[in-house]
Amino acid sequence: NAEFSVGVSTGCSSRLRLTSSHPSKAGSVWYDSRVPVLRGFETVFSWVITDPSVECTEHVDRTFSLKQHKSCAVKGGDGFAFVIHGDPNDSFALGGDGEHLGYGGIENSIAIEFDTWTNVDTQGSDDIFQDHISIHSAGPNAPNSSKKTAGLGFWRPYPIADGKVHKAKIQYLPFVETRYFELMTANENLIPYLKDNGEGRRLGTLAVFVDQGVIEDRPLFAIPVNLSVLLDLPRGLAFVGFTASSGRRWENHDVLNWEWCHSSCQ
């Protein structure tokens, strides 16, 4: 069971800072070589989001033109994603900033996004007014997108950017896991990828676990999907890693540790 990790190795803490707390940034980090994904994998990582942007407004009495008070709103953006891809740019792949979360525009990819900013429906988004986790892919022949046209299944709300350290596990099983049926979500965008693709490339299950769900082995949600149909991956190998972005709002997106396993990380 091959694996690699990034984390604390000395007395000083270390982290992968995907983007710093500045506007209109995008960043990505990839493992330096392709890894096998089609026969199943598990990856575990911890993250923390800090130093969100602050917007203040001074309220003035219109009658006397006197300053009354100043109010400030603390809200960062835009979020980060765990991404699997076969983009031609290999380990240099990077998508757009703002609503794209650093993965929008990466070809032949699937992203599990941890979204901290609400984009309005006029942007083609189905975001909610809460931090949330969702899965996006435009298939093997198109650039990925954070818009609802690329959403696979439906989002789940979760407090992603509350300043606390969180832990996630993402698992792909090369079969349909019946234990997760009650937690599965699906939509019409998934239909082309709900089929077998030959021996050893059957319909599988992609599951997302967070915090207590990692401990209890209970996913926040899961989707049925065949990665060998969704992505075009010669020899079943893909680049794996993280992207993030900021836009008109910003925050630090930090991965504190990361472990990848070709089967189970336990």
Question: Measured between alpha carbons, how far is 91 from 160 in angstroms, rounded to an integer?
Answer: 26
Mean pLDDT of 134-157: 96
| Distances, alpha carbon 142 to alpha carbons 35, 101, 127, 192, 198, in Å | 21, 17, 22, 14, 23
Mean pLDDT over each residue of the chain, to the nearest integer: 88
Preceding omega of 196 cis (within 30 degrees of 0): no
Mean pLDDT of 227-235: 96
| Distances, alpha carbon 97 to alpha carbons 13, 116, 189, 248, 258, in Å | 27, 13, 24, 10, 23
Q: For 34-50, write each residue's pLDDT tens digit.
A: 999 999 999 999 999 99
pLDDT computed for residue 80 by the predictor: 97
pLDDT computed for residue 68 by the predictor: 67
pLDDT computed for residue 2 by the predictor: 37
